[in-house]
Amino acid sequence: MAETEHHSGSSPEDDTPPIPVCQNFMVPKKEISMFPDMGKWKRSQAYADYMGFILTLNEGVKGKKLTCEYKVSETIEKLLVLLGTLDRWIDETPPEDQPSRFGNKAYRTWYAKLDQEAEGLVAAVIPEDKAAAAPEIAVYLKEAVGNSTRIDYGTGHEAAFAIFLCCLCKIGALRVDDQLAIIFKVFDRYLVVMRKLQKTYRMEPAGSQGVWGLDDFQFLPFIWGSSQFVDHPTLEPKHFVDEKVVNENHHDYMFLECIKFINEMKTGPFAEHSNQLWNISAVPTWSKVNQGLIRMYKAECLEKFPVIQHFKFGSLISIQPVKP
């Protein structure tokens, strides 16, 4: 799918939030319980809104560095405070001594704190006149940090954070001119906190395909990160497997931040531990990489029942079919 494709969905491009004053917010719940329900998901307003959001942001960051200048609104600042709080709680919740190397149980203590505080954290971010939306939106924040039973994290959790941000756009807390800050400030900070969670509590990758998956934990930063590189004068896809290039440029490019983290966490030849990424490095242009990753994201994440069965739907992210 071309990165310029647009959907009849919600995106930060909507200047006026499409929420009537009498909006009935609701606590989101699971709607995809069996494989045949997947058709309902693909036809839903939620799917159109989600893809519309991802693609609008993909277009917005095209050719731009993380270090470029952009507006930082009050809501963006509040979201950074929220993520800073989650980060601080990790420091306050050291890993426990336990026999198994993976899935440190201290994560459950950390998660319980978020579970308890999530509505208050969200209420502090959104406008007072939208306070009724806090319980609905808080569900996506809690879903965005991993699973406390399995102590794992994967692309479904990452998607929940994107949905959380999409909801903030839908109620008008985030606006069209927040686009760059949504990715370069908020999503980038979210990734830092998630990497810290993954390292501190040795979280398992949720539904990982091992060396055949793109990455153990993330997907969206590869999409948006490849868009940043479109039409770059010197750096081509073949360069991201060069550690020197990564170390010199990761501050500017989300894609390289991801590669740097992989290089820190994995040993052995890159082609062996990250085969899919190694194959992508052979694609001639960043534009083709970006388009290919969007197609792959749909096929490997959004069309996979084991991922979508955990998605929750409410008034903002609706399972109702797209209106013709």
DSSP string of 78-109?
Answer: HHHHHHHHHHHHHHHSPPPP-SSSSS-THHHH
- DSSP 8-state secondary structure symbol assigned to residue 66: T
pLDDT at position 177, please? 95
Q: Is residue 19 part of a domain?
A: no
Asked if residue 195 and residue 71 are part of one domain, the reply reads yes
Q: Pick from 246, 268, 267: which is nearest to 258 by CA?
A: 246
pLDDT at position 5, please? 42
Helices (H), 124-268: 134-143, 155-170, 179-181, 188-200, 220-228, 243-249, 254-265
Asked if residue 192 and residue 244 are part of one domain, the reply reads no
Q: Pick from 254, 302, 193, 313: which is nearest to 58 by CA?
A: 254
| pLDDT over 80 at 3, yes or no | no
Asked if residue 283 and residue 191 are part of one domain, the reply reads no
Q: Percent of the chain having pLDDT more than 90?
A: 83
| pLDDT over 80 at 145, yes or no | yes
User: 173: domain range?
Assistant: 65-207
Average pLDDT estimate for 52-71: 97
Q: Pick from 29, 34, 24: which is nearest to 46 by CA?
A: 29
The whole-angstrom separation of Cα 210 and Cα 225 is 22
| pLDDT over 60 at 132, yes or no | yes
Element (H, E) at 42: helix 38-42
Q: Percent of the chain having pLDDT more than 70?
A: 92
Average pLDDT estimate for 265-272: 88
Cβ proximity of 232 and 286 under 8 Å: yes
| pLDDT over 50 at 7, yes or no | no
The whole-angstrom separation of Cα 174 and Cα 82 is 15
Tens-place pLDDT, residues 161-195: 999 999 999 999 999 999 999 999 999 999 999 99
**Integer CA distances (angstroms), 238 to 11, 218, 246, in order:** 32, 21, 12
Q: Is residue 274 part of a domain?
A: yes
pLDDT at position 209, please? 63
Q: Is residue 109 part of a domain?
A: yes
Average pLDDT estimate for 16-41: 81
Q: Residue 203's pLDDT band (boundaries 50, 70, 90)?
A: very high
Q: Is residue 311 part of a domain?
A: no
The whole-angstrom separation of Cα 281 and Cα 283 is 6
Asked if residue 216 and residue 263 are part of one domain, the reply reads yes
Cβ proximity of 199 and 182 under 8 Å: no
Tens-place pLDDT, residues 24-34: 899 999 999 99
Higher pLDDT pick, 304 / 18: 304
Domain count, the chain: 2
Asked if residue 80 and residue 200 are part of one domain, the reply reads yes
Q: Residue 212's pLDDT band (boundaries 50, 70, 90)?
A: low
pLDDT at position 207, please? 73
Average pLDDT estimate for 75-89: 98
| pLDDT over 60 at 323, yes or no | yes
Asked if residue 88 and residue 141 are part of one domain, the reply reads yes
CATH code, domain carrying 276: 1.20.120.1150
Higher pLDDT pick, 89 / 214: 89
Q: What is the pTM of this model?
A: 0.92
Pair of tokens at residue 109: 């203590």
pLDDT at position 78, please? 98
Q: Which residues pair with 204 in a beta bridge?
A: 152
Asked if residue 290 and residue 221 are part of one domain, the reply reads yes
| pLDDT over 60 at 270, yes or no | yes
Amino acid (1-letter code) at residue 94: P
The whole-angstrom separation of Cα 193 and Cα 298 is 25
Helix and strand element counts for the chain (H, E)? 15, 4
pLDDT at position 324, please? 78
Pair of tokens at residue 163: 């949905």
pLDDT at position 8, please? 43
Higher pLDDT pick, 22 / 45: 45
Asked if residue 221 and residue 116 are part of one domain, the reply reads no
